[in-house]
Amino acid sequence: MALQAAGKPFGTVFTPAMLTASYAPQDGWGGAVLQPRGALRLDPATMALHYGQTAFEGLMAYRQPDGRLAFFRARDYASRLIHSCSRMAIPPILETHSIELWRQFARHELPHLPESSDFALYLRPLVFGCDAAFGDRPSTCYQLLVQGVVVDLAERARQRPLEVLITDQFVRAAPSGVGAAKVPGNYGAAMLARQAARDAGCDQVLWLDAGRRRWVEELGSMNVAFVISEVLVTPPLTDTILAGVTRQTVLTLAAEAGLEFEERPIALEEITAAMSWKGLTEAIGCGTAAGLVSIGAFHIGERRLSLPAATPVADRLRGLLRDHQGGRIEDSRGWLTAV
Ligand SMILES: *Cc1c(COP(=O)(O)O)cnc(C)c1O
């Protein structure tokens, strides 16, 4: 039976199963099991809980015109999981193995996804160190957990523009740290900033570089781009920015649509200056879970700088992105993987 997901917030409509697999030094990764989703039995000293040696992914499978399901850019998410694991000294799962396990899970959960292309399946693979001991060293055993939620894409498309707090009080990532890895610790470390944003009546924070607090890096847990003088501009990838698959896709689609784009450092003062002379017409956050979201206003100190309500570039890119995800445009790049 398909789950009732219409109008439900992202991340709340879980499909009924989960997939687990494990790693032991002598066996490598293996032992995948599909089982009913439920509470885990973990030793209270499980190292991941104490020391955060953990990495995760978030990818989506979309309905295709023939009703079948396909992952969008699965290989890119699988290779990023390898990168994140490597950064955390976690033995990585081969790209092909990850995709096979995701496919096994998604096939199993398919009956619970509504048939309309307005719904998608979001997969959340999570890897964590599961030795039970106090000790500051990499774990020897690891677990993989894959679970999924049904996402109402139509509901998501109705989200209102974001109010964004700009502050130099917090830092997300420092050079040579873990900013370019998808790890829970980055999120945990950002919760206080998230709370400050909420207290200021905002939805998200705009992250600035750790050194001078001058260069724009990310938007909450999304990548960020601006439209300045009709050029789509986004910061170049460094080791303090998470290499978003959506970011990469959006740049490719911008080029395809004949939109000029630049990957270059963007200083905060460039943003505020371009807003004052109205050269900055759009600001966009992008990520797998949120899609493409427009920014409605920036809050800096007591000032609220608002952006135009019309978002033609974001609308265009969002439409193109959905067309590619939903297989409504020929998949010339091999972005879709049949579930
Ligand atoms: C996941 C994530 C993104 C977006 O990446 P996608 O591959 O587009 O989902 C951006 N920034 C951070 C910090 C993230 O964790």
* CA triple 299-305-308, angle to 5 deg: 130
**Residue 101 pLDDT:** 98
The pLDDT tens digits of the residues spanning 310-320 come to 999 999 999 99
Q: Judge if the beta carbon of residue 245 lies within 6 A of ligand 1.
A: yes
For ligand 1, mutation pick of 79, 80, 205, 242 (most atoms within 8 Å of CB): 242
Confidence of residue 167 (pLDDT cuts 50, 70, 90): very high
Nearest ligand 1 atom, CA 76: 7
Contact predicate 117/157, CB 8 Å: no
Q: Is 52 in the pocket of ligand 1 (CB under 6 A)?
A: no
pLDDT(179) > 90: yes
Q: What is the pLDDT of residues 272-326, one digit of tens each?
A: 999 999 999 999 999 999 999 999 999 999 999 999 999 999 999 999 999 999 9
The two tokens of residue 265 are: 């450092």
| Residues 119 and 102: beta-carbon distance below 8 Å | no
Residues, the chain: 339
- From 126, 156, 288, 317, the mutation candidate for ligand 1 (largest count of ligand atoms within 8 A of CB) is 288
Number of C-beta neighbours around residue 316 at 10 A:
15
pTM of the shown model: 0.97
Q: Name 179's Cβ contacts closer than 8 Å, sequence gap at least 6.
A: 172, 173, 186, 217, 239, 240, 241, 242
